[in-house]
Structure formats: structure tokens, C-alpha cells
Amino acid sequence: MYLQELFIRYDPDRIYGTWKHVLKEKCNMSDSYARKLRALAVLLKDYPKFRQLSISFHEMNTLKPRVEKMLKVRALAEFWARR
């Protein structure tokens, strides 16, 4: 979520360099990797139970289409939304 907040607050008029440059220099990551991280953060932000899983970013990113489909089922979405 921090990366998403940084992205929202990024102001090219105040911060020297492009978003891609800031990611590389400050976070040591590519913009494509950051996009994937932000997309997963947005998808899962309302589902705190996902934080309890021991699953790598790569695995979760691979499962993203299945997770999106699963979260369309109300009962499953409610389960993952519980704390």
C-alpha cells in the first residue's frame, strides 16, 4: 500500500525526475514490477485475510486472475474480507 500512496502523491513538478526514475533510484525496482505490486495492492486492500497467507509475490501475481474471479463470489469475498 505504501507504493500506491507514493504513486498517488507523486508530483513531477515537485520531485525531480520521472516516476520510472524515482522508482529506480529510491526503491531499486522497475516500473513494470511496481505496476504489478500496485495492482495487487488495489485488488487485495479490502481483504485482510490475504495478509495471513505465506505466498510469494510471484505466486500471487500468477494467481491474480483466479483470485479476481473468486472474489466475485459474494460468500468467498466476505470470508476474505473478515479480519
Give the range of the structural domain holding residue 80, as residue numbers without chain letter. 46-83
Band of the pLDDT at 28, cuts 50, 70, 90? Answer: confident
Band of the pLDDT at 77, cuts 50, 70, 90? Answer: very high
pLDDT at 37 over 90: no
Cell representation of residue 81: 474480507
- Answer yes or no: do 15 and 52 share one domain: no
- Answer yes or no: do 51 and 29 share one domain: no
- Taking the C-alpha atoms of residue 54 and residue 73, their distance in angstroms, rounded to an integer, is 23
Residue 60: exposure state from Cβ atoms within 10 A (0-12, 13-18, ≥19): middle
- Answer yes or no: do 54 and 21 share one domain: no
Single-letter residue type at 17: G
∠ at Cα 41 (56, 67), nearest 5°?
65
Structural domains in the chain (count): 2
- Answer yes or no: do 36 and 66 share one domain: no
Average pLDDT over residues 48-72: 94
DSSP helix/strand/coil, 56: coil
